[in-house]
Amino acid sequence: MKITDLKCAVIGNSPVVRIVTDEGIDGFGQIESFKTYLQPHVIFYKDYIIGQDPTNVERVMMQIRRMGSFKPWGSAVSAIEMALWDLAGKAANLPVYKLLGGKVRDLVRVYNGGIRFPSKGGEPKHHADNMALMKSSPEGFTIIKQGVAFHSPMAQQIPNFYYGESLPEGHRLNRGLITESGMKHLIDCIEAMKEVLGDEVGLALDCGPGFTVSDAIRLAQSVEHLNLMWLEDMLTGDYVPWVDPDSYREVTRSTSTPIHTGEQIYLRQNFKDLLERKAVNVIGPDPCDVGGISELKWVAEYADLHGILMAPHGIGNGLLGLAALVQVCATLPQNYIAFEYPIGQPEWWYDIVEGLPNPIVKDGFIEVWDRPGMGINLIPELTKPFLKEEDQSFFD
């Protein structure tokens, strides 16, 4: 079997990769939503993989892996890797988890990161009300993650929240020392959310990046009594192209509150110091950014050797990304907690794929399916109406 083409189309908000072979088997991968600008970046790798056997996944990846980078630029490499595994599974008539070593678990726990409800304001009561809606969601999530501080409108909405310069919203690094009143407001909001969840549902908080080390320590110590799941990306994360393990280690060693980071990190080499120095308690690599699912599995195994837990990121990865997360997380060691549950956006995504269970999530878990490859497929005749004119040849 040989690769004959590499295609990429923007479907909804997501670039979708298709690898075509001379035996009529193809594989699909999806890039995190809203990264539509990466479509030409995917095609850059075409000449490096044409003519190769796609079932030799590692050999193909050795041709392109070194030419990726931290989020968002590793997304193209990651999507190609996932499409290769999808294709290899279909060629072998096996689910991808079988190719990755087999299942450790039949049910994969997920946490809510993608199902959101509009907030009516930024006060503690509004945070509590929003958390009540998420707690009552029919998926029955056992862990819910919420954005606060610099990973939410809080830094802009709340007067005098921090001393730093306020930059426009987006992927810019709003960063600075939090004021006394700002820290009090933040803690009040966290306590209000946890009061709603009680000890029935775990609360994780996406906090930044943007905290100073001193503020990260102050917050982590102030919420120790709440037994939070973790505080995520306080110092780095998202689109920050460095790791800073020394600063994270200082925070982690100062508190019993679990500290988490890793969604923006590309490749195992860039997790090495973070893990070997035990700089955090939990890591959250994203298969759509770290270099794919086998890269994520390698990082999870190495984290387990160092006593560090695993909670993969995945909020914008769409339904093809969801399938990839189910397959790889079924195989991860026992340091696995849960992965961040992505949804289909726009809603019509659920109409153009086949293979998903209904409902997808029951009592906070997804049952691992056994269909070949990643287990779900785009339906060409239903997808074509959503393709742009320039992408009409995607299924040819």
Number of domains in the chain: 2
Are 57 and 107 in a shared domain? Answer: no
* pLDDT tens profile 33-47: 999 999 999 999 999
Percentage of residues of the chain with pLDDT beyond 70: 99
Comparing CA positions, the residue from 230, 197, 198 lying closest to residue 216 is 230
CATH number at residue 9: 3.30.390.10
- pLDDT at residue 168, as a whole number: 77
Q: Based on the domain organization, do 119 and 207 belong to the same domain?
A: yes
**Are 360 and 384 found together in one domain?**
no
In a domain, 15, yes or no: yes
Tens of pLDDT, residue by residue over 118-176, are 888 999 999 999 999 999 999 999 999 999 999 999 998 899 999 988 887 777 788 99
pLDDT tens-digit series, residues 347-374: 999 999 999 999 999 999 999 999 999 9
Residue 166's pLDDT is 80
Q: Are residues 136 and 173 in the same domain?
A: yes
- Are 42 and 146 within one domain? no
Q: Is the pLDDT of residue 390 over 90?
A: yes
> Do 231 and 211 lie in a common domain?
yes
Q: Are residues 151 and 180 in the same domain?
A: yes
Q: Say which range, 84-93, 110-119, 185-194, has the weakest mean pLDDT.
A: 110-119
Work out the mean pLDDT of the chain and round it to a whole number: 96
Domain match, 221 and 352 both: yes
Q: Containing domain of residue 46, as a range?
A: 3-93+378-391
- Residue 135's domain is classified under what CATH number? 3.20.20.120
Say yes or no: 256 and 382 in one domain. no
Q: In what order do the strands lie in the sheet with 26-30?
A: 3-11, 14-21, 26-30
Averaged pLDDT for residues 264-288? 98
Residues 172 and 89 in one domain: no
Q: Is the pLDDT of residue 289 over 80?
A: yes
396 part of a folded domain:
no
> Reduced to 3 states, what is the DSSP secondary structure of residue 18?
strand
List the one residue out of 228, 252, 251, 248 whose CA is nearest residue 240: 248
How large a percentage of the chain has pLDDT more than 90?
95
